[in-house]
Amino acid sequence: MLPKITHVIFDMDGLLLDSERIYTEVTQEIAQRYGKNFTWDIKVQLMGRTQAKSNEIALKLMDLPMTPEEYATETRRLQQEKFKHVALMPGAERLVRHLHRHGIPICVASGSAKYNYDIKVTNYQDLFGLFHHVVLGSDPEVKRCKPDPDAFLVAASRFDNPPADPENVLVFEDAVHGVAASCAAKMPVVMVPDPRMDPEHFKKATLVLKSLEEFKPEEFGLPPFDE
């Protein structure tokens, strides 16, 4: 029996936005300059983290001869050009608009830095305006990034009247650390992973889908699509 859902939290990168593709392109470009390879196994360890934490891990695992400052500046420069043109993931807009139209409180909880968030949503102001609130990796209340539960617990606490009970909050995630964070927060989670993801990582998810387009809201006690 799937839990009855009252509130929904969306991850952003790789779930609502096709921005994981951009992170990969940029990191691979920098890695190649030094004859290194940004592998999928390394990528999995970065997804969902704060920018600072992810940079630290990437530098170490790829053993790049750059200072943290040089790496941060160069990735930021290359990413920001591309983030302006980021696409939505299939089914994201339909689902967000559907839940909003039916009065289901929705929000975003992402590891993204605010300076990147602002660029990523430039073309989607209207859509992102439907969220009750947005919690980012740079939020002072989020002490630890995913896979710790902080981002989701803070996000649930900011739904008002009444605040959300974790077991009735549905999380949508693409990343292994995001699924772990949802479980640590005791929230059910629908995982929509990249096709390269090892199915070994699916075990903790409540449900795994190939695309948001496959989601059936009524299975979680939410209003069915009516169009």
Judged by CB under 5 A, the residue of 5, 9, 10, 11 near Mg ion is 11
Q: Does the annotation count 18 as an active-site position? A: no
Q: Which residues bind ligand PSU (CB under 6 A)?
A: 11-14, 20, 23-24, 27, 43, 46-51, 54, 110-112, 137, 146, 175, 178
| Beta carbon nearer to ligand PSU, 105 or 111 | 111
Q: How far is the CB of 11 from Mg ion (least distance, A)?
A: 4
> Which of 13, 139, 150, 174 is the catalytic position?
13
Q: How far is the CB of 199 from ligand PSU (least distance, A)?
A: 20
**Within a 10 A sphere around the Cβ of 42, how many other Cβ atoms?**
17
Pairing relation of β-strands 7-10 and 133-135? unpaired
13: contact with Mg ion by CB under 5 A:
yes
Give the interface size with Mg ion as a residue count (CB under 5 A). 6
- Give me 53's structure tokens: 């934490």
- Alpha carbon separation from 118 to 34, 115, 136, 175 (Å, rounded): 31, 6, 11, 21
- Give me 38's structure tokens: 């940004």
175: contact with Mg ion by CB under 5 A:
yes
Q: How far is the CB of 50 from ligand PSU (least distance, A)?
A: 6
Q: Does the annotation count 13 as an active-site position? A: yes
Sign, Cα dihedral of 21, 93, 45, 144 = positive
Q: 13 pairs with which residues across the strands?
A: 17
How far, in Å, CA of 141 to CA of 139, rounded? 5
150: contact with Mg ion by CB under 5 A:
no
Stretch that binds Mg ion, among 9-17, 24-32, 97-105, 133-141 (CB under 5 A): 9-17
Q: Which residues does 67 contact at the CB level (< 8 Å), separation at least 6? A: none
Stretch that binds Mg ion, among 7-15, 86-94, 97-105, 115-123 (CB under 5 A): 7-15
Residue type, 82: K
| Longest CA–CA separation in the chain, Å | 54
Q: How far is the CB of 20 from Mg ion (least distance, A)?
A: 7
Residue numbers annotated as active site: 11, 13
